[in-house]
């Protein structure tokens, strides 16, 4: 008993365990347990469990660093209950980078235990570029076009227990485009009218393979606004999925490859991407590679050029746009977590939509609250994802909006699947689809009609 009491009364000596990627102990100590993060944390809201809160997860990591808690798979499992929505970051008075610490903790425990076989397969061999993702999606394209889907869906609904996850995955799958965009988009898309800007376009893997029409609309809008758009072939994944799943080694490989690729394009005004997760991760390359002498300066220069499409549209599009709708189209904004919470981008999208005549913008409650997609969270943690989705749908329906705009591919998947399954009275558009239907004017005074280019020929499919 005496020895136990001595251990309890001895002062802590600080960090005793050192694992690669483990968050800086001094950062973990900055959490003052004020509870400001509790009301905004999705998992704490749903469970009211301390271990499912941001400060609870930081306490776990701090205990691991102090040697008070072994770095077991159980600790790792608790870290993966987090949606990585970064809402906690936005309210922390001590400015602790909570979300970043949790991802670093995942990477540390992955280093300790090794990556699961399915993580190695998916995030090192499949989801590493749009090209490598293509063969995995080919059977699904055949499945949709052969009519087999109509026969299989009733059987999937009857699957019990863990097998029901297959039904969820099938329900999330959108109508796949005939060809991914990276296979058809030219390397150079010239500016319409006077060339005002020269931009590199980072085409995300999911955007190319699943949302080709949406990214085609982005290129059309950029071109109509006077941008020469350079889309270099050979792009690889930004690394967001790898970061989410604790694979920092692969994340660094992908970052180096993308930096080297875009350096060959010469002088650019910006590197633009229409995927919120991509814009966030690309901006993080500077921090990720700051300890690598061969890439630190190059990574900083690359990240400084990156602009989310909302930022770039807000900067270059004219002060007035016209959407032909009577009465005005009622629109609400869903802010992707990686856009609003991780990057702090909230004003540009609202300024942008405020410039469009013919639409009425109505704010929903908690527009940056996670919809439950969160990378692959809606597959790995379906129950929690469904609870978050239900909250988001209630918020959308309360606005009576006809259209929800966003720029997160996971958000598009999650919300559109809900619209299809529940036959909800609204559509979910990428922001570029809305802008492609607007009329605006070049710098040289030539009117540009909405619904321009190839994207105009493709309707939003729900």
Angstrom distance (rounded) from CA 375 to CA 240: 9
List Cα–Cα distances, 145 to 138, 140, 149, 179, in angstroms: 11, 9, 8, 13
Could you tell me if residue 18 is inside a domain? yes
pLDDT score at 11: 53
pLDDT score at 460: 33
DSSP 239-255: SHHHHHTT-HHHHHHHH
Contact between 378 and 372 (Cβ < 8 Å): yes
Q: Are residues 106 and 223 in the same domain?
A: no
pLDDT score at 440: 59
Q: Are residues 9 and 71 in the same domain?
A: yes
pLDDT score at 27: 95
Q: What is the CATH number of the domain that holds 444?
A: 3.40.50
Q: Based on the structure, what is the number of domains in the chain?
A: 3
Q: Is the dihedral angle over the CA atoms 257, 85, 382, 168 positive or is it negative?
A: negative
Q: Are residues 288 and 395 in the same domain?
A: no
Could you tell me if residue 134 is inside a domain? no
Low-confidence stretches of the chain (pLDDT < 50) are: 1-2, 441-447, 449-462
pLDDT score at 164: 73
pLDDT one-digit tens code per residue, 390-403: 999 999 999 999 99
Angstrom distance (rounded) from CA 164 to CA 385: 15
Contact between 155 and 163 (Cβ < 8 Å): no
Q: Are residues 236 and 326 in the same domain?
A: no
Q: Are residues 334 and 443 in the same domain?
A: yes
309-316 and 347-354 helices cross at what angle (nearest 10)? 40
Nearest residue to 101 via CA among 12, 16, 37, 13: 37
Print the domain residue range for 438: 318-456
Could you tell me if residue 94 is inside a domain? yes
Contact between 86 and 42 (Cβ < 8 Å): no
Q: Are residues 252 and 205 in the same domain?
A: yes
DSSP 31-73: -----TTTTT-HHHHHH--GGGSHHHHHHHHHHHHTTSS---H
Where does a domain end: 313, 347, 370? Answer: 313
Q: Are residues 335 and 270 in the same domain?
A: no
Q: Are residues 106 and 210 in the same domain?
A: no
pLDDT score at 159: 74
Where does a domain end: 69, 92, 113? Answer: 113
Could you tell me if residue 235 is inside a domain? yes
Angstrom distance (rounded) from CA 172 to CA 411: 11
Q: Are residues 10 and 38 in the same domain?
A: yes
Q: pTM of the prediction?
A: 0.91
Contact between 209 and 235 (Cβ < 8 Å): no
Q: Are residues 322 and 351 in the same domain?
A: yes
Angstrom distance (rounded) from CA 334 to CA 320: 22
Q: Are residues 284 and 299 in the same domain?
A: yes
Contact between 91 and 37 (Cβ < 8 Å): yes
């Amino acid at each position: 008993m005496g020895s136990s009491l001595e251990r309890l009364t001895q002062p802590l000596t600080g960090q005793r365990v050192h694992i690669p990627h483990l968050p800086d102990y001094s950062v973990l100590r900055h959490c003052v347990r004020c509870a400001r993060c509790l009301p905004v944390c999705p998992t704490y809201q749903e469970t009211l469990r301390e271990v499912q809160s941001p400060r609870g997860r930081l306490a776990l990591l701090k205990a691991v660093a102090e040697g008070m808690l072994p770095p077991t798979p159980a600790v790792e499992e608790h870290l993966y209950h987090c949606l990585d929505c970064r809402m906690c970051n936005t309210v922390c008075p001590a400015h602790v980078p909570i979300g970043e610490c949790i991802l670093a903790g995942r990477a540390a425990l992955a280093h300790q235990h090794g990556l699961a076989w399915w993580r190695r397969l998916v995030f090192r061999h499949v989801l590493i570029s749009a090209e490598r993702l293509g063969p995995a999606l080919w059977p699904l394209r055949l499945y949709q076009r052969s009519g087999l889907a109509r026969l299989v869906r009733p059987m999937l609904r009857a699957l019990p227990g863990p097998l029901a996850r297959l039904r969820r995955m099938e329900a999330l799958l959108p109508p796949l485009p005939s060809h991914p965009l990276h296979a058809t988009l030219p390397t150079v898309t010239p500016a319409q009218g006077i060339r005002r800007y020269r931009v590199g376009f980072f085409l995300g893997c999911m955007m190319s393979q699943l949302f080709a029409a949406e990214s085609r609309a982005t290129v059309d809008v950029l071109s109509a606004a006077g941008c020469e758009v350079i889309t270099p072939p050979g792009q690889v994944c930004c690394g967001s999925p790898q970061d989410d799943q604790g694979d920092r080694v692969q994340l660094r490989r992908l970052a180096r490859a993308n930096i080297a690729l875009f350096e060959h394009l010469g002088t650019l005004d910006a590197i633009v991407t229409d995927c919120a997760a991509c814009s966030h991760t690309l901006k993080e390359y500077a921090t990720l590679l700051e300890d690598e002498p061969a890439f630190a300066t190059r990574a900083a220069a690359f990240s400084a050029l990156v602009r989310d499409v909302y930022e770039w549209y807000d900067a270059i599009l004219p002060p007035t746009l016209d959407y032909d709708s009577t009465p005005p189209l009622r629109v609400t904004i869903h802010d992707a977590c990686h856009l609003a919470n991780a990057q702090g981008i909230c004003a540009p999208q609202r300024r942008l939509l405020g410039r469009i005549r013919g639409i009425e913008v109505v704010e929903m409650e908690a527009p940056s609250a996670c919809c439950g997609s969160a990378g692959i969270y809606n597959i790995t943690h379906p129950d929690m994802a469904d609870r978050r989705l239900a909250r988001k749908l209630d918020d959308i329906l309360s606005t009576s909006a006809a259209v929800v705009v966003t720029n997160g591919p996971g958000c598009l998947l999650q919300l559109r699947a809900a619209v299809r399954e529940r036959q909800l009275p609204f559509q979910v558009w990428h922001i570029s689809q809305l802008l492609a239907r607007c009329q605006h004017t070049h710098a040289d005074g030539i009117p540009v009609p909405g619904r321009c280019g190839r994207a105009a020929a493709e309707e939003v499919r729900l």
